[in-house]
Structure 1
Amino acid sequence: MNWTLEIVVVRVTDLDRAKAFYAERVGFTVDVDTEVAPGLRVIQLTPPGSRCSVALQQGLPAAPGTREMAPGTLHGVQLCVTDIEAARAELVGRGVDASPVRHVGNTGWEDGQGGTWNSFVTFTDPDGNGWVVQEAPSELSER
C-alpha cells in the first residue's frame, strides 16, 4: 500500500489575501476554491510540478483526534527546487520577502550556497506561516 502526502493544511486569517499570496506571489496553481458548507470555504493550491497541494482553511474545525492549528503556526514545510538562485530570484521578482540563499556551516547558518542538499531560502506568508525552499540534486527531479 502506498501512503502519499497529498495535502498540507495552512491555517490563515484571510482566505482571499492568502490565495493571492500563494497564487500571484509564490506561483502556486489554484485547483479548488469552493464553499464546502455554508460559511466553510476551502482553497487548494499546488506548487508547480508537485503532487502535494496546500489547502488554505479558515474557521474549519480540526479533524477528530487532532488539535486545531492557529494561523501562522505552520513552520518548516519544505519545497524542493533544482536551482535555488533561480527560485529565490523568482520569489523576489514576484514580491516575496525571501531570505538570501543560506547553508548550514560550521558555526550555524551561513550566507551562500552549500554542497548537495545544503542550500536554502526561507519566506513567510502574510500570517507568518514559514516555508523553506531547499535545493535538491537535479537527478532526483527525474524520479
Structure 2
Amino acid sequence: MDWKIELIPVPVTDVDRAKAFYEKVGFNADHDHKVQEGLRFVQLTPPGSACSIVIGDGITTKIPGSQEIQVVVADAPAARKQLLDAGVDASEVDVQPWGNFVYFRDPDGNSWSLQAMESRPQG
C-alpha cells in the first residue's frame, strides 16, 4: 500500500503576506476559502509537487516560524537562482555527500531546505 503525504500545515502570522510570498516563489494557489469565522484554508502547491502546504486562520496550533520542510529539486543552483530572481534571500549551495542543499525562510521564519540528489534509492 502506498502512503502519500498530501498536505503539510505551515503556521503563519499574516495569511495574505505568506500567500503572496509563496506565490512569488512559484507555488500555485489551489484554494483560498473562508470556511467559517476563524477558519480560513489556503492551499498552495510547489511546482511539480504532489504534496501541498496549507496556511490560514485556525489551521494549526504550531508557532509561526517553527515549521521545517525539506523538498527535492532537480538542480540546487537553478533552484537558488529562481529564489534569488523572486527576491527571496537564499543560502549559497551547501554541498554534502548526500546531496546539494539550498536554504531559505518564509516571512515568519519557517525554514525550507531544497535538496538536489544525484540519484534516489528505488523502493
| TM-score, L = length of structure 1 | 0.78
1: CA distance, partners of 2:29 / 2:117: 25
Paired residue for 2:71? 79
Paired residue for 1:7? 7
**One-letter amino acid of the counterpart of residue 72, structure 2:** C
Paired residue for 1:124? 105
| TM-score, L = length of structure 2 | 0.90
Alpha-carbon offset, residue 59 of structure 1: 3.3
Residue segments in structure 1 that go unaligned for 5+ positions in a row: 63-67, 105-114
List structure 1 segments (4+ residues) > 3 angstroms apart after TM superposition: none
**One-letter amino acid of the counterpart of residue 132, structure 1:** S
Residue segments in structure 2 that go unaligned for 5+ positions in a row: none
**One-letter amino acid of the counterpart of residue 30, structure 1:** A
Aligned to 2:89, the other structure's residue is in SS state coil
Count, aligned residues: 120
Alpha-carbon offset, residue 38 of structure 1: 1.7
Q: Give 1:33-48 correspondences, 5 Å limit.
A: 33-48=32-47
Larger gyration radius, structure 1 or structure 2: 1
1:99 to 66, 74, 91: 91
Paired residue for 1:90? 82
**One-letter amino acid of the counterpart of residue 74, structure 1:** Q
